[in-house]
Amino acid sequence: MSTPVDDPAVARVGPSSHAERNDRPVPPLRFPPRPPVKRRRAGLVVALAALAGLVAGAGGTAAGMSLRDDPAPAPRPSATLAPTDEQLLLGDPTAPGVEPPVGGGWPSSWPTFVSTEPTKPIKGLDGVGFDFRVPPTWNCEQVATAAAAAHYRCGGGDAGGGDLTVRTCETPCTEDRRTALRQREEAWGLQWTRSGPFATWAETTQIDGKRMYGLVYVAFWRSTPEGQIDRQLVVRLTAPLATSDHLKKVVNSIRDETFTL
């Protein structure tokens, strides 16, 4: 029996059963060469690497865009914060006026500015809505403003001074709402006196145990002619007794611009 030739292309298989019966050699089985896979695998690796690069690049771009699109950090609040509308609308009096107001009208003896008297016109205060006159030494400086309120401090020299505040009264500005707003005002515990349907006032010659003149005037009026009552005015002034007439003149000037029936 002959021995098969060693051929690297010949598959290593056992002898055929026919060869055992007829003792004839079986031609070796030859398989086609395997296709080259290295190049294909290399191409697949390159493609996968490129895809990974695209994904990584997209992630980096998204991260960069996210970082760029993030809003700038909010500025830290300053030590002094502007009061909110609620703070301006709702005071915290230690001694509000006594309710309900009693009748009494407006004091006809209170002096007014005469045409020959030197005065200073106060015009165009933001959020106030009316002009008035004050003594020549007075100025009005803004304390705070908000969408629904404005607060100014007026005065100067020996003529005294104090606060002027204008607020929105939600319409309909009913008597209950007007009373609630008035009860939030400091009035040194004085009895309110009514002057017309929408104004009250109170005065004193002693504040905190000291001889000093104090005057509070609270009025509600229409910010537009023939419109609804929608605004509240509060004037709270103090002065030495000797210069109390200056306060009365200022309040008379303001009342002339805001008095409503």
Span of 101-115, 148-162, 240-254 with lowest mean pLDDT:
148-162
At residue 68, the pLDDT reads: 42
Total residues found in the chain within this entry: 261
pLDDT at 236 over 80: yes
**Backbone dihedral angles phi then psi of residue 25, each to the nearest 5 degrees:** -70, 140
Report pLDDT digits (tens) over 52-99.
Answer: 444 444 444 444 444 344 444 444 433 333 445 555 545 689 999 999
Burial of 239 (0-12, 13-18, 19+ CB in 10 A): buried
Residue 146 has what pLDDT?
84
pLDDT digits (tens, 9 = 90+) for 181-229: 999 999 999 999 999 999 999 999 999 999 999 999 999 999 888 899 9
Three-point CA angle 118, 204, 113, nearest 5°: 15
Q: How far apart are CA 217 and CA 211, in angstroms?
A: 20
What's the longest Cα–Cα distance across the chain? 153
- Alpha-carbon distance 82 to 132, whole Å? 26
User: Does the structure show a pLDDT above 90 at 108?
Assistant: yes
pLDDT-derived band at 23 (thresholds 50, 70, 90) equals very low
Determine contact, residues 165/128, Cβ cutoff 8 Å: no
**pLDDT at 14 > cutoff 80:** no
Helix (H) or strand (E) holding 219: strand 210-221
The residue that leads in pLDDT, 166 or 41, is 166
Report which residue type is found at 145.
T
- pLDDT for residue 232 is more than 80: yes
Determine which of 52-56, 100-104, 255-259 has the lowest per-residue pLDDT on average. 52-56
Count the Cβ atoms, other than its own, within 10 Å of residue 76: 6
Nearest-5° angle of CA 247, CA 249, CA 255? 100
The residue-averaged pLDDT of 152-177 equals 93
Q: What tokens appear for 76 in the block? A: 């830290």
Architecture of domain 85-258: 3-Layer(aba) Sandwich (3.40)
Kindly give the pairing relationship between strand 191-194 and strand 98-103: parallel
Q: What is the residue extent of each domain of the chain?
A: 85-258
Residue 207 confidence (pLDDT): 95
Q: How confident is the model at residue 250 (pLDDT cuts 50, 70, 90)?
A: very high
Give the pLDDT of residue 199: 97
**CA-CA-CA-CA torsion sign (143, 146, 151, 152):** positive
pLDDT classification of 256: cutoffs 50, 70, 90: very high
Closest C-alpha to 166, from 236, 85, 233, 217: 233
At 178-189, the pLDDT tens digits run 999 999 999 999
